[in-house]
Amino acid sequence: MISNNEFFLDRIVSICSTTGVIHLQVTTLNPEEGFIDIEVNARELLNDIPSLHYFCKKAIKEEDKATKKKYKEFKNKL
């Protein structure tokens, strides 16, 4: 069954594999949703690792920059 619902993947709770498939159990920011099970083609996921790494590093850098700016603005208000 394919769902069109969107969600924010907060954490990977468990990960395992079967033949050609990676199984992830994840949580979202909404605890009422419980766990969501995701299955991913293992080969495609492996092929995507360089891109995932790039975008993770980019997102973390942007988050750190925003946090620094927020605290700098807070310091200036004091």
pLDDT tens track of the chain, all 78 residues?
455 678 889 999 999 999 999 999 999 988 888 899 999 999 999 999 999 999 999 999 999 999 999 999 999 988
Residue 3 lies in a domain: no
Number of domains in the chain: 1
25 Cβ contact list (under 8 Å, min separation 6): 12, 13, 14, 15, 35, 36, 37, 38
Does a structural domain hold residue 2?
no
Looking at the domain assignment, is residue 25 inside a domain?
yes
Show the domain range for 57.
9-77
Q: Give pTM, 2 decimals.
A: 0.74
Is 66 inside a domain boundary? yes
